[in-house]
Structure 1
Amino acid sequence: MQQVVHTILHFNQTLFPLVQASGNWSYLLFFLIIFAETGLVVFPYLPGESLIFFTSSIAAVDANTLDIYKLTAVFFFAALLGDTVNYTIGRHLERLTIFKRYIPVSKLLTAQRFFKRHGGKTVVFGRFVPFIRTFIPLISGTVHMKFSRFSLYNLLGVSLWVGVAVITGYFFGRIPIVQQHFSLIFIGIALLAIIPSAIFGLIKFLRRKKETQI
């Protein structure tokens, strides 16, 4: 038990060599996580900016473990490609019978009017909202937002999202006290990061339980 506690409180001593040993495979894993979180609707719970922030801080603590420039490129293209795939999926949703059955034409028209007026802002700022950002590209495609318009605002949104997360994570990792207590601080951050997911899961559980009691 003492060994487990020591490993948790000093996980950077294990994590850094592990990432170093993985080499470029680490970047591939990060790419797949961000791509899945943004491009596949069934994975909205995967870490997004928290992963970018965390890995950027690792790059600041030990540049030999992760390269900040490679990380930035990986996260940028993963998010950009993920959103594009998600948008493409949305464009073809209306062909599905289940879509026509559960999505009334009136709601679809309302969404189309909304995206015609506020689509650009929604694509840009929605990227900063966990869970929501996974569905915005899908809805953009579903309501037939012009691909050129979506791509422009998506490029802006992804650039801002990745840029802010990378810069804040990197400079956070450069703070001396963070470097001295890296494991403890990031355990606290990780616990805070899962709170929204835990609350979301609890709300869904309580709703299902209430529905079964009615």
Structure 2
Amino acid sequence: MEELLALINSNVVLAPYIIFGLLFLAGFNIPVSEDIMLFTSALLAAKNPDYLIPLFTAVFLGAYISDLICYGFMGRFLGPKLFKIKFFASMASPEKLEKVNYFFKKYGVLTLIFGRFIPFGFRNALFLSAGLGKMNAWKFAISDLIACTISCVTYFYIYYSFGELAVEYVKKSNYVIGAIAIIAVIIFAIKKKKANKLK
């Protein structure tokens, strides 16, 4: 990955294609960080304003198409077969699937918007779960388009405007968002236990 990042930073002409390609692969759960791609493309755009549109387009389309691959191919198409693979079984266990489906049903598009801002590899688990849970394809595509637009524009703008100074602040905000997500899951688990006791 370090070699690819060096290539991206040293060759702005090829950078949009490399960034898009890496994010495309991320849809198959190959460990490529969307956050790193956003940060790298925004910094490069700040140094090379003529490439602002190609770089943002590459990172945005790469992120969105990656989501669709994870949802459609990995989740809906491969489906339960993934549970036979240890790596995916831990990422989208039946318990996690149930929790995600609950949030999708209750909060709809807000689940995807909020989920895109949660760090620590939560995003792909979210999209995979949506596919495994057979969430309506059009609903997912439109909801994720809205969510992806909000997160990509927000992070790209922050990194483009404030550069490396923004990294630490974004990291700190990620920890806060991650903590909120954990609290939400705990509340869900408590509510479920109470509901089961009442049955």
Q: Classify the TM-score, shorter chain.
A: 0.5 to 0.7
User: Which blocks of at least 5 consecutive residues in structure 1 are unaligned?
Assistant: 1-11, 174-184, 197-214
Matches within 5 A, 1:90-105: 90-96=75-81, 98-99=83-84
RMSD of aligned Cα (Å): 3.5
**Aligned: 1:169 with 2:154:** no
Per-residue deviation, 1:63? 2.8
1:92-126 CA-partner distances (Å, limit 9, x unpaired): 34442845xx7887875565344222342221111
Query: Counterparts of 1:105 and 1:49 in 2: how far apart (Å)?
Result: 27
Q: How many residues align?
A: 160
1:106–1:81 distance in 2 versus 1, CA, 3 Å:
closer
- Which of 55, 58, 61 lines up with 1:77 in the alignment? 61
Which residue does the alignment assign to 1:59? Answer: 45
Q: What SS is found at the alignment partner of 2:49?
A: coil
Q: What SS is found at the alignment partner of 1:138?
A: helix
User: Which blocks of at least 5 consecutive residues in structure 2 are unaligned?
Assistant: 1-5, 175-199
Which residue does the alignment assign to 1:116? Answer: 105
Q: Is the 8 A contact 2:34 2:63 kept in 1?
A: no
Per-residue deviation, 1:189? 4.7
Matches within 5 A, 1:24-39: 25-37=14-26, 39=27
Q: Which of the pair has the greater relative contact order for Cα pairs under 8 Å at 6+ separation?
A: 1
Which residue does the alignment assign to 1:159? Answer: 149
1:55–1:96 distance in 2 versus 1, CA, 3 Å:
closer
Query: Counterparts of 1:114 and 1:31 in 2: how far apart (Å)?
Result: 30
Q: Is the 8 A contact 2:8 2:18 kept in 1?
A: no
Which residue does the alignment assign to 1:179? Answer: none
Segments of 4+ in structure 1 off by > 4 A?
102-111
Identity among equivalent pairs (%): 22
Which residue does the alignment assign to 1:208? Answer: none
**Aligned: 1:41 with 2:25:** no
